[in-house]
Structure 1
């Protein structure tokens, strides 16, 4: 019998995603006749840098089980927890280990709309092209061939729903900051695994098939009669800091994972420090103890601990602050009012 865990939380890249079984019948998307969009499985870059933080991610059994459940069921993973517990980094860790390429990122705010996540249409550029074509016709010139696909760019959600043979990884960050309607707007897209680009659908009589640019600047996506339909449902991570509640219809369509604060777990904090800063010396223990002590009276994030430990390693230089000063500078409570600072 094969290993149930596709994602193992080892941080070692492997091709386990290739043995992901067929989806449940009600989550089977796409068509074998759809043109497949290729993507680079080994592009693991944020901006201009590699992803060392994904290699250092500390996944416990509850995280591993939740990720695999979402992969098997083809459902989004809703990850809740305080800031700094590793919600967003989980998407990088899964993409890195399963070799699923660059994470598609959609940072959400109160003005974000479903359309924004799906695609952008340059209506002004299209009007300018039409105006040029009319002028060419009026002056007896041969008008240039219109390509409406040039004016469409898929958003991160739209790109994740393109017809890839393997799931893309999509991070919808801080969904709890969205407009109240966005979670419900996402339901149809998550259920159907497809969406329509209205501007391309209207132009289908003259241009049935077009190629559009994805959000990650990868290979162009073929769109037929305005419809974009996934073949493999993406691995979607939705993060929430718990600033609002979600409707039951939305929650029942997600696999839910809560990441507890690690500020009172000394063993895990030490493991995180070793993973991210393997050269940290024994003096890091002073900062870890200070972090745990201060976390007992107010909110802190683990990246503050890492920043403090990093600085601690530079205190041998002349004029550098002492450990107590580093703690006061870096380990400042996030809930300032509650902490009385």
Structure 2
């Protein structure tokens, strides 16, 4: 049976995104998803698993993560300690091998979705160290002399925030998709999933302010989808009307802007612009 992803009630997937997911599934290649932080890359993997009715394994990569940890880790220190204590466990080396997420995905009874989240956080060699394992869907365990092969090829979704360039050899093995920031109409659909009760006039005013803020030249960190959802939640909690959202005087900052702007440079940018606007009016 062919598995096809069409999005879910809780996740608005654009047509090009659903095409990318289904192409990666058909080709049996990892889907590499890039995009701004907060555009739903990690959530995509969870929604694909839910839509296709598959279990999910999540491997969240950090700056200290090594590729080997995704396969397995051998705890030689514990084995040495147990041997000194005369523990019977030392006779079987398997007692000291901790299976990684790839091993768990390979040995699963059925197909699973494997998320490798924020691969660009790790060392530059990290993607290269996984090339063969993701390509051949097998790896060798030196301590036991066995080869672990995937019973069924997992659906692999890899996310990147573009903090580092990924190696060409790794990119060749992936199907690539860049999640563009949602346009106004797509954002309305996303908001409708989370806040179906929001009044259209409030939403129009809020999103107009949001996109004006995002498009301001010189902004260091543009607010993301997750941040606009937080902001709208606050606006609803305060029960603000479109009139309440009007900016006072020459202030260019929207109400409760702390949910949208996350560093002092960007706040200062809008304060400077407001100061310049006041000077222009005073002339």
TM-score range, shorter chain: 0.7 to 0.9
Per the alignment, in what secondary structure is the counterpart of residue 237 of structure 2?
A: coil
- Verify: 1:109 aligned to 2:62, yes or no: yes
Task: Give the aligned partner of residue 20 of structure 1.
Answer: none
Whether the aligned pair in 2 keeps the contact of 1:67 and 1:77 (CA below 8 Å) is: yes
Whether the aligned pair in 1 keeps the contact of 2:89 and 2:95 (CA below 8 Å) is: no
Task: Give the aligned partner of residue 331 of structure 1.
Answer: 260
- Verify: 1:251 aligned to 2:204, yes or no: no
- CA drift of 1:336 comes to 4.4
Q: Which runs of 5+ in 1 are unaligned?
A: 12-54, 135-142, 202-225
Whether the aligned pair in 2 keeps the contact of 1:304 and 1:331 (CA below 8 Å) is: yes
- CA drift of 1:97 comes to 0.4
Inter-CA distance 126–229: structure 2 relative to 1 (3 Å threshold): same
Q: Which of residues 215, 222, 230 in structure 2 aligns to 1:296?
A: 215
Inter-CA distance 199–291: structure 2 relative to 1 (3 Å threshold): same
Whether the aligned pair in 2 keeps the contact of 1:290 and 1:327 (CA below 8 Å) is: no
Whether the aligned pair in 2 keeps the contact of 1:163 and 1:229 (CA below 8 Å) is: no
1:162 and 1:192 map into 2 onto residues whose CA distance is 14
Inter-CA distance 10–85: structure 2 relative to 1 (3 Å threshold): closer
- Verify: 1:261 aligned to 2:181, yes or no: yes
Deviations, residues 34-89 of structure 1 (Å, cap 9, x unaligned):
xxxxxxxxxxxxxxxxxxxxx41111111111111111111101111111111111
- CA drift of 1:244 comes to 2.4
Q: TM-score, normalised by structure 1?
A: 0.68
- CA drift of 1:96 comes to 0.4
Deviations, residues 281-310 of structure 1 (Å, cap 9, x unaligned):
343333222211111113110011110111
- CA drift of 1:124 comes to 2.6
- CA drift of 1:246 comes to 2.2
Runs (4 or more) in structure 1 with deviation over 6 Å come to: none
2:91 and 2:192 map into 1 onto residues whose CA distance is 57
Q: Which of residues 135, 150, 155 in structure 2 aligns to 1:230?
A: 150
Q: Which of residues 5, 8, 14 in structure 1 aligns to 2:5?
A: 8
More deviation, 68-77/190-199: 190-199
Per the alignment, in what secondary structure is the counterpart of residue 231 of structure 2?
A: helix
Inter-CA distance 286–74: structure 2 relative to 1 (3 Å threshold): same
Whether the aligned pair in 2 keeps the contact of 1:106 and 1:173 (CA below 8 Å) is: yes
Deviations, residues 148-197 of structure 1 (Å, cap 9, x unaligned):
3332221222222225332x111111112221111111111112211122
Inter-CA distance 200–334: structure 2 relative to 1 (3 Å threshold): farther
Choose between structure 1 and 2: higher helix proportion.
2
Task: Give the aligned partner of residue 216 of structure 1.
Answer: none
Inter-CA distance 335–93: structure 2 relative to 1 (3 Å threshold): farther
Matches within 5 A, 1:269-280: 269-280=187-198
1:269 and 1:234 map into 2 onto residues whose CA distance is 31
Task: Give the aligned partner of residue 150 of structure 1.
Answer: 95
- CA drift of 1:230 comes to 0.2
- Verify: 1:306 aligned to 2:229, yes or no: yes
Per the alignment, in what secondary structure is the counterpart of residue 115 of structure 2?
A: strand
Whether the aligned pair in 1 keeps the contact of 2:117 and 2:158 (CA below 8 Å) is: yes
Task: Give the aligned partner of residue 79 of structure 1.
Answer: 33
Whether the aligned pair in 1 keeps the contact of 2:7 and 2:48 (CA below 8 Å) is: no
Per the alignment, in what secondary structure is the counterpart of residue 271 of structure 1?
A: helix
- CA drift of 1:146 comes to 3.8
Q: Which of residues 105, 129, 134 in structure 2 aligns to 1:185?
A: 129
- Verify: 1:171 aligned to 2:115, yes or no: yes
2:35 and 2:54 map into 1 onto residues whose CA distance is 25
Q: TM-score, normalised by structure 2?
A: 0.81
Inter-CA distance 123–155: structure 2 relative to 1 (3 Å threshold): same
1:149 and 1:113 map into 2 onto residues whose CA distance is 21
